[in-house]
Structure 1
């Protein structure tokens, strides 16, 4: 029986991981705690085997003046909670980092992250996550294992991220560029199963979870157009507009640039990809792309 504390109440990942683990109540006891206003200090860490830390500020293209807050929450709070956990006898600390520690896509130049790729963040969101990782590594010992998760884009039922917005776009646009790409993504159930395996096997190290299949922006649009009975003309004729637009709009790069992990670094001696990509898209509902 593993006793797990999730720090970061009501987060999309935290809620889904909690539900996933509780499907096997003979294996897990799971509780959550908020990290606002030091509420986490009121929890009795001594009774937990594992802390799964998901609290943090998300990547929302913030203004530079917000940088200190990102470091305070994503780096300083993470390390402070980890020190507290170690002091109170927690045996394993799992940190939700991000693929963004490598860099954020700011051009159409594609990238494939391999085992030889070194982290090199190009914004303070990625840097705050990487600095948190570095701080956690210094705390690791034989009695305090640290697992660093660097997931790609996470999606699933109830998520309000870019995938629902792309689904919405597929229901509105009559034409779409045939700009094919490879994108690493992960359904939240696949991520939750990886967390489950990391806990049960008491693992440490760096993990790069992703779906078995790469996503293609064009095929995603085609899928949702069909789902909502919309006709979309997909043509290479407007591909030059993608190239031109990439110099002015960051969203173009995020949508069309290759960005993926080599599948080799996402493969372990256990299975965690429990949901196939096309099947997982059924969880996604079109959502208007609002600011």
Structure 2
């Protein structure tokens, strides 16, 4: 297949190149265009302006994978409009290009944060009514709505069947793997310094997405006849923060220091932190201790598999070991 990948030089894009280059012809679309092993050519966003279509040197496309976007700023220092300019605006631009192109498959990387900032109930499924909180999730759901609305309009206008253009909206939870410097790395640095974890009494469960499982799913969407739709993405098993710390200490060859401080006392400290603008405040305590379990049942059913190829613990170990190099 001839595949165009936006944001090809990012963490997920780089891993997809490694996973797909042996069996597919890959092209990139990015704000930078250095040579990349496995990528025939990288184009700029200006190249897909209507005046530039069709692109020179670009063969007939079979699929487009849209990764480019602004990641969630956990420090909340980014202006809200920037999220909409990038996450919504670029999606509109590349999806319009897809509708006019020869490509039959479009994979958009959204986020579970487009569905919900917090999970109500035991698990987050695709049936949830989206209630994003903040510009990151709101910009992602706006992009999703644009895709679904314009695909429907295009099919009705040209009297196309729904399977003439197959569109997949992936909502992964936190993606991790070697080379990724996200929140797992921050937690690892705390553990590495030997700082005790004081929230051992909070037994939360969270879903994660191994980059290996993610690449496996993308390959399946490209090569199998999967119905268009929204699919949540995560590993099979959810892990607690206590389990994460234990895994990190296992890799480091240390004994974990997990303190089970009184919950009410920690909540009181967090409340005081909110008043005094300290690092541990009520909102941060909620984020550190809440459950966020994501169902991957729909995507596994669509791909005809019972389990993801990589267990959650094995994927986490692989990521942690990369921090030690």
TM-score (norm 2): 0.78
Choose from 149, 157, 177 the match for 2:199.
177
- In the alignment, the residues of structure 1 paired with residue 148 and residue 30 of structure 2 have an alpha-carbon distance, to the nearest angstrom, of 24
Cα drift, residue 266 of structure 1 = 4.7
Question: Structure 1, residues 129-178: CA drift from partner, whole Å, max 9, x if none?
Answer: 00100111123243222110000000000100111222222222134322
- In the alignment, the residues of structure 2 paired with residue 59 and residue 65 of structure 1 have an alpha-carbon distance, to the nearest angstrom, of 9
2:311 maps to which residue? 276
Q: What is the correspondence of 1:1-291 to structure 2 with a 5 Å cutoff?
A: 2-22=1-21, 25=22, 27-35=23-31, 38-41=45-48, 43=55, 47-61=60-74, 66-105=79-118, 112-140=123-151, 141=155, 142=161, 143-171=164-192, 172-178=194-200, 179-203=202-226, 204-244=228-268, 247=271, 248=274, 249=281, 250-268=283-301, 269-271=303-305, 273-285=308-320
**Partner SS for 1:259:** coil
**Partner SS for 2:113:** helix
Alpha-carbon distance change, 91 to 46 in structure 1, aligned in 2, over 3 angstroms: farther
Query: Would the aligned equivalents of 2:196 and 2:259 in 1 still touch at CA under 8 Å?
Result: no
Alpha-carbon distance change, 246 to 286 in structure 1, aligned in 2, over 3 angstroms: farther
Cα drift, residue 284 of structure 1 = 2.1
Cα drift, residue 3 of structure 1 = 1.2
Cα drift, residue 93 of structure 1 = 1.1
Query: Would the aligned equivalents of 1:35 and 1:55 in 2 still touch at CA under 8 Å?
Result: no
**Partner SS for 1:236:** coil
Deviates more, 1:273-282 or 1:31-40: 31-40
- In the alignment, the residues of structure 2 paired with residue 165 and residue 109 of structure 1 have an alpha-carbon distance, to the nearest angstrom, of 27
RMSD: 2.6
Query: Would the aligned equivalents of 2:3 and 2:25 in 1 still touch at CA under 8 Å?
Result: yes
Query: Would the aligned equivalents of 1:164 and 1:286 in 2 still touch at CA under 8 Å?
Result: no
Query: Would the aligned equivalents of 2:198 and 2:258 in 1 still touch at CA under 8 Å?
Result: yes
Cα drift, residue 287 of structure 1 = 9.5
Query: Would the aligned equivalents of 1:74 and 1:132 in 2 still touch at CA under 8 Å?
Result: yes
Instruction: Give the number of the structure with larger relative contact order, counting CA–CA contacts within 8 Å between residues 6 or more apart.
Output: 1
Question: Structure 1, residues 173-206: CA drift from partner, whole Å, max 9, x if none?
Answer: 1343222111111101101110110111143211
Q: Answer with 1 or 2: which has the greater Rg.
A: 2
**Structure 2, unpaired ranges of 5+:** 33-43, 156-160, 275-280
Deviates more, 1:57-66 or 1:149-158: 57-66
Query: Would the aligned equivalents of 2:169 and 2:229 in 1 still touch at CA under 8 Å?
Result: yes
- In the alignment, the residues of structure 2 paired with residue 151 and residue 281 of structure 1 have an alpha-carbon distance, to the nearest angstrom, of 16
**Partner SS for 2:293:** strand
TM-score (norm 1): 0.86
Q: How many residues align?
A: 282
Alpha-carbon distance change, 70 to 184 in structure 1, aligned in 2, over 3 angstroms: same
